[in-house]
Amino acid sequence: MGFIHAQASPSHVGIRTVDVDKVCNSSTASDLCISIVTWNMNGQVTSEDLAEMVGDNREYDLLVIGLQEAPRNKVARRLKAALADTHILIGKVIMQSLQLYLFGPKNAGSFIRELKVDKQSVGGCGGIIGRKKGAVAIWINYKSIRMMFVCCHLSAHAGRVEERNSESRHISHSLFSKNWNPYARPAHVTVWMGDLNYRLQDIETYPARSLIQKDLHEKLLGKDQLLQEAGRGQIFNGYYEGTLTFRPTYKYNVGSSNYDTSYKVRVPAWTDRILFKVEDSDNMEAVLHSYESIDEINGSDHKPVKARLCLRHRQT
């Protein structure tokens, strides 16, 4: 009963890629506009990076920020300070380095019908605290639109594809399953963000970097493990993702926009993703207005990824 299908079915469609509609008139065309950001912070935080990530354009209703490898303190306070003029914190859930924050306008309280949070770890309790794996989630009914936001960090390394698939399925079946059943009234829209850690398959680092350098990274899409596994019906059946027009977001030298020059010279990859699914497309329309990386931020070995999603009840 989860929102990721465990195995292929005759109707599986995988992840459907959608183009970005760059025109967004949030005041008239949509009931709700959401800005979504995911970022693996590599344990570092500065107020300047957070301000850059949030940006100056606040023409949205909700801001969802999903963080992986986040420092244990200071993040919430600095986010609140960066957004103080326009938005307030209306929900958060933290599991060590996995953190999810939901900001809304200052009058948001009058629009919230229900808000729940949950968390689910994977891979046991061992390992480095800075790399906690699993997911944290917020379920909210806001302006009569039911939404579920999931921020996850899955297992690393190119060869652990099946482990990532299994973790995705476990998370989807486990979230909110203990004391409350959100599937009794399914979310209109589910947004899944995070460091999913799927890599590029069957290509060496220098040929991959050569294509990226020539702005031909679309030629790498066929080697993306996430799209491959979804196409096999293993994960994320029926989800949408914007076209990957930006460069792979991992792995960079910290403090620069240069790919890894350590002895590992890792193959670049789109590890950081934002996916969404509309559960009731007859009554709810979701339009993606941007999907991009924030290349100006150099404080981590990952680049943040940002999306803008606007929702509208279909007229009946």
Q: Tell me which amino acid residue 247 is.
A: R
Domains of the chain: residue spans and CATH: 16-197+271-313 (3.60.10.10)
Summarize pLDDT for 257-301 with one digit per residue, the tens.
999 999 999 999 999 999 999 987 888 999 999 999 999 999 999
Q: For position 183, what pLDDT does the model report?
A: 58
DSSP codes of every residue in 85-106 = TTEEEEEEEEETTEEEEEEEET
Q: For position 1, what pLDDT does the model report?
A: 30
Q: For position 283, what pLDDT does the model report?
A: 85
Sheet holding 240-242, edge to edge: 16-18, 240-242, 272-278, 189-195, 145-153, 134-142, 112-121
Sheet holding 32-40, edge to edge: 87-95, 98-105, 62-68, 32-40, 305-313, 284-293
What is the distance between the alpha carbons of residues 168 and 123, in angstroms, rounded to a whole number?
12
What is the distance between the alpha carbons of residues 238 and 116, in angstroms, rounded to a whole number?
24
Q: For position 128, what pLDDT does the model report?
A: 52
What is the distance between the alpha carbons of residues 307 and 89, in angstroms, rounded to a whole number?
19
What is the distance between the alpha carbons of residues 15 and 85, in angstroms, rounded to a whole number?
37
The pTM score is 0.93
Q: Is-contact 173 135, C-beta < 8 A?
A: no
Q: For position 30, what pLDDT does the model report?
A: 84
> Residue 254 has what DSSP assignment?
T
Residue numbers of the chain with a pLDDT score lower than 70: 1-11, 23-28, 124-131, 179-184, 316
Instruction: Tell which residue, 192, 142, 187, 188, has the closest CA to residue 284.
Output: 188
Instruction: Tell which residue, 264, 263, 262, 259, has the closest CA to residue 303.
Output: 259
